[in-house]
Amino acid sequence: MAFLRVVVLLWADMLAGYVMWIMPTYLTDVWKLGFTHAAGIMNVANGLSKVLPLVFFFIVDSGLGNYWMLLLSSLSFVFGLGFLSMSAPPVLAKKTGTCKDYKPQCIGHTQKALFYTALALIAVGISGHIVSLVALFVDQFQKKKVEPKVEKPKFRYSFLVNEIRRKQGGVKNDMPNFPPPPVPINRNRRKADDSSEDDISKLQFQPVEAMLALVTREKVKIFGACLVILVPVIGLIALPYIKPWSLRFGIPAICSLVATIAFSFGRYKDNKSKGSPVANVFRVLVASTLKMLHKLPNDSSELYETDRRDVQKLPRTGGLRFLDKAAIKEGQGDHRWRLCTVTEVEETKIIINMFPIWITFIICGVVTSIGSTYFVEQGNHMNFKVGKLKLPNSILLILYEIAKSQSKFMYTSIASYLGGAGLKRYAPPVGIAFATLFSVLCCIVAALVETRRIHVIRDHGLLDKPDEKIPMTVFWLLPQYILLAGLDSFYENSVAPFLIDQSPPSMKKYLVYFNPGMSGLGIMGSVLSVFVVGRVSQRNGKQNWFQYTLNRSRLDYYYWTLSVLSSANFFWFLLAALWYPYRDPTSNNEEEIGNEEGNEAIGNIESIITGTEETEHTHENETSDQA
């Protein structure tokens, strides 16, 4: 039942995602906003939903837990979608004294306040689900840890001692027959092909794929796939045929309410964390700044390091040596903000080395933002018919999701090939390189398609008729949506492993949330890019590329500008990736390191026993030869 309740939340999440996807159309058709104004509003909302997860994860990790975060964010979804439905003109027309038509004059201050509040609450709901939906689902399937079996060696300890003494001088066999000390031998080693929680955590921001991976692992493939995929797909196909906007917003609100009520009545396992080590980064920066005039000792052993055995220590490296001053002992006490360990300093160095690569994520976010805004506006007045069959406007969203899932197989194949060649550490950066390359191709194709769309508009005299249908099939947009799916898929599937593998051991689960955070900054930054490009384009008395209507604008020029920016971003990433000091991915897995050391020790014990056994057989052979 816990599985069903969490999946119902996923359904509501997908319907809310569709509502956010069609929001630019609502703002341009009903509010009559310019398409850049509508895109700016949605980019801020979408970017906020990707930046907030990092903040929310700190709250969860401080003791709130995934259950309460998921419950509170689901309530935010309910209120947000409810306010959004109430902001539609017919709902509160009598209370506010406005008209009931879907026209700008029927939208008063109350409707606008409800609308903007709804966007903020929906962004909070999306962020909370990003943080806790997959994490809580993983907890429900988490197996109990199996204690290692304690087995006795094949030979009795007393027998071995007596046998050795007998060989050395025939000592009497008067040793007490004590049982041997127990030797822990772990016979429950994790199989290489089993899906672990770490593998699922890499799908933290892909809830549908994470759910499918879990139900596949739990042997409920057909039933789970139907629950996770078919039901929301049917909803996405049916919802566009509902004409009133109040119902388009109201049905997801009702679904979210039902899902939240069903979820609240369940009982779940919630593995809460115990504090956050991210503050250590700020401590190192503060301590090294306060000691900038100090001189580093020649002997690195004079630097401070903790003697706690439960902390995985990192060796000192030569780069960014000014940070090493944070570990200089002053003899004035060990104040937390003046003295840091060598390990904390090295973890800070790792994070700083990541910054050049993180910058590339922002430009990818700028390109991602045009898929949910300008691409939607382009297709809004194009032909959705195939023969006499009129397809829903969600068909592009469905095809985008299909292309996104298929692109994942491309990345998986590349990662498997590099892993087989012993180059596993380079699989995530190769995936990020492909993502930046897809961003370049997506912008180029989008520019070419928009140029053709403008020619069709001019040929049919539709420049001043923005509400007229353009005699051009919407499937012209399919190539750019496929390339956008490749960008998003490679980005999501490679950035998370990169951050997990290359981040410090104590912070790998925190830095994963920089994945949507940096992309969110790019999405919000697209508002600034449109403003700057528009200002530059109207220099020397020229017309601004962004006009009130899309038909009058030159969006193709903006796409060409983004293609140049994405090309520069691609080459910047190549330089940063070649410069970056890669770490072995297995160095972050403390459990595997511990198991390897334990298995090595067990192997030594077994070899000693085997060697003694061989000595015994050799002695028996020598005795028989003498006889």
Summarised one tens digit per residue, pLDDT across range 403-416 is 988 888 888 888 88
Confidence of residue 85 (pLDDT cuts 50, 70, 90): very high
Summarised one tens digit per residue, pLDDT across range 503-515 is 877 777 677 777 6
Question: Which H or E element spans position 411?
Answer: helix 395-420
Nearest Cα to Cα of residue 77 among 132, 38, 25, 151: 132
Of 30 and 584, which is predicted with more confidence? 30
Confidence of residue 447 (pLDDT cuts 50, 70, 90): very high
With beta carbons less than 8 A apart as the criterion, state whether 469 and 382 touch.
yes
Q: Which of 260-274, 300-314, 583-597 has the lowest mean pLDDT?
A: 583-597
Q: How many CB atoms lie within 10 A of CB 597?
A: 10
Summarised one tens digit per residue, pLDDT across range 451-471 is 999 999 999 888 888 888 888
Q: Which of 67-76, 299-308, 346-355, 584-593 has the lowest mean pLDDT?
A: 584-593
pLDDT value at residue 593:
40
Nearest Cα to Cα of residue 519 among 370, 400, 364, 372: 364
- For the cut 90, the answer to whether the pLDDT of residue 287 exceeds it is no
pLDDT value at residue 596:
40
Summarised one tens digit per residue, pLDDT across range 309-365 is 666 777 777 778 888 888 888 766 567 778 888 888 888 888 888 888 888 888 888
Return the SS3 of 220. coil
Start-to-end CA span in the chain (Å): 75
Return the SS3 of 180. coil
pLDDT value at residue 217:
54
- For the cut 80, the answer to whether the pLDDT of residue 214 exceeds it is no
Nearest Cα to Cα of residue 103 among 22, 33, 18, 21: 33
Q: Report pTM.
A: 0.71
DSSP string across 353-387: HHHHHHHHHHHHHHHHHHHTTHHHHHHHTSB-EET
**Residue located via tokens 């797909």:** 233
- For the cut 90, the answer to whether the pLDDT of residue 564 exceeds it is yes
Summarised one tens digit per residue, pLDDT across range 535-551 is 888 887 788 888 888 88
Summarised one tens digit per residue, pLDDT across range 128-146 is 888 887 777 766 665 544 4
**Looking at residues 9-28, what average pLDDT do you find?**
82
The CA distance from 255 to 20, in Å, is 15
The CA distance from 29 to 318, in Å, is 59
Which residues have a Cβ under 8 Å from the Cβ of 431 and sit 6 or more positions away?
411, 414, 415, 490, 491, 493, 494, 495, 497, 498
- For the cut 60, the answer to whether the pLDDT of residue 240 exceeds it is yes
Domains and CATH numbers, the chain: 1-143+223-268 (1.20.1250.20), 150-184+594-626 (no CATH), 279-346 (no CATH), 352-588 (1.20.1250.20)
The CA distance from 523 to 23, in Å, is 16
Percent of the chain predicted with pLDDT > 70? 73
pLDDT value at residue 144:
47
Our CA dihedral for 281, 284, 285, 291, rounded to 10 degrees, sits at: 180
Confidence of residue 233 (pLDDT cuts 50, 70, 90): low
The CA distance from 35 to 27, in Å, is 8
Nearest Cα to Cα of residue 228 among 490, 6, 401, 486: 6
Alpha-helical runs (H) found in 170-220 = 197-201, 207-217
Of 112 and 297, which is predicted with more confidence? 112
Mean of per-residue pLDDT scores for the chain: 77
Confidence of residue 229 (pLDDT cuts 50, 70, 90): low
